[in-house]
Amino acid sequence: MPSSTIAIVAPCFNEGEVAVRFLQELEGVLAALPYAFAVVMVDDGSTDGTAARLGAYAPAAPNVRLHALALPCNLGHQAAIHQGLLFAAGLPADRFIVMDSDGEDDPAALAELLSLQDCAIAFVGRGRRSESIGFRLGYLGYRALFRVVVGRGISFGNYSIIDRRALDAVLLRSFTHYAAFLSRLKLPQRIIVRDRRPRIDGRSRMGWRSLSMHAFGSLVEYSEEVLAFMLRAFVALAVVLLLSVLAIVGIRLFTGLAIPGWASVLSASLFNGMLLCLGFFAIGLLLVNAARRREPLGRIYTVLSRP
């Protein structure tokens, strides 16, 4: 008999046959592991019959039970994760895994992930990716921006495992970026690294728009750090502007090196830079305020299948 139950939450949107193939591969991996598994598939308002496919799927492995949920409309990936975790919290599980259902998160990593018993949160860090070179360069740029602004790196996505302590913290409020939200929790954390696989159907859905929203969501979770970064930038530019003005006055009064118009152009440029930083500082204040006032969305899912 399995010694404990593990819940796996996997959102999907218009996946169709991909969701079925994902479940088949996942079930093959889970059947060989010494745990009972509750797989929670969350259909995020699909319009292609994905919900019907999930409701009709019956796992063959004796240690796997499927719970299929449907949301009333497309709320987005992060909201679908939150709804799945809300449902999973009511199951007799002691650990909870979140992974994508398109095949890019390798189910073969589950055995190593489950072996990590000394932490409340463990991420599957992303190694090599299968997208185009342009997208990979954009992703590297996002990671570099995150490190500069936040002061720490982020090399992982939603694929992770948490215990009840972390789950309770997650369900206290909503989030815009699950992985970034988890990384802020002051709980023991670990990371293992696996390469990001191609989608099951071979067609990646992650484009530049998705990457931009992904980056913005992660920075919202670190809105206080973004605010501090913009404040530092504002102060630095203010100091540079002050020193520049003193230098300009000194050059004009005591030397003959001044070029007509250059002083006003330089001063205006620095002043405009300060205004930009001040504007971003104000935006940062709004982000912090919004982050602190976020309240979790209640249960709005419909259960399509029961154990």
Per residue in 151-161, pLDDT (tens digit) is: 777 878 899 99
Closest Cα partner for 224 from 151, 297, 143? 151
Buried b (16+ CB within 10 A) or exposed e, 285-307: eebbeebeeeeeeeeebeebeee
- Highest mean predicted confidence (pLDDT) among 34-38, 100-104, 217-221, 274-278: 34-38
User: Residue 301 is which amino acid?
Assistant: Y
Same domain, residue pair 72 and 89: yes
235, 286: one domain: yes
Same domain assignment for residues 159 and 80: yes
Give the model's confidence band at 138: pLDDT under 50 very low, under 70 low, under 90 confident, else very high.
confident
Spatial contact of 13 and 46, defined as CB atoms under 8 Å apart: yes
Radius of gyration from C-alpha coordinates of the chain: 24
Backbone angles phi, psi at 102, to 5 degrees: -95, 0
Are 211 and 232 in a shared domain?
no
- Residues 210 and 260 reside in one and the same domain: no
Residues 121 and 24 in one domain: yes
* Residue 307, token pair as written in the block: 């154990």
pLDDT score of 279 more than 80 = no
HSE-up (13 A, CA, CB side) for residue 62: 3
Rounded average pLDDT over 198-209: 68
* In a shared domain, residues 177 and 38: yes
Residue 297 has pLDDT above 50, yes or no: yes
Largest Cα separation within the chain, whole Å, is 89
Q: Give pLDDT, residue 129.
A: 64
Amino acid letter, residue 252: R
As a whole number of angstroms, the distance between CA 285 and CA 63 comes to: 48
Structure confidence by residue, pLDDT tens digits, 231-263: 787 777 777 777 777 777 777 677 766 556 666
Q: Virtual CA dihedral for 151, 176, 131, 42, nearest 10 degrees?
A: 140
Same-domain check for residues 229 and 216 = no
Question: Angle 5-155-169 (CA atoms, 0-180°, nearest 5)?
Answer: 45
Mean pLDDT of the chain: 83
pTM: 0.82
Is 272 in the same domain as 218?
no
d(CA 285, CA 280): 9
| pLDDT at residue 87 greater than cutoff 90 | yes
Q: Are residues 146 and 192 in the same domain?
A: yes
Higher pLDDT among residues 226 and 301, named by residue: 301
**CATH number where 137 lies:** 3.90.550.10
Instruction: Give yes or no for residue 196 having a pLDDT over 70.
Output: yes
Owner of token pair 């100091």: 239
Q: Based on the fold, state whether residues 13 and 126 are members of the same structural domain.
A: yes
Query: Is 219 in the same domain as 289?
Result: no
Q: How confident is the model at residue 307 (pLDDT cuts 50, 70, 90)?
A: very low
Q: By the 8 A CB rule, do 104 and 202 touch?
A: no
> Can you tell me whether residue 90 is helix, strand or coil?
coil
Number of domains in the chain: 2
Q: Which domain holds residue 272?
A: 224-293
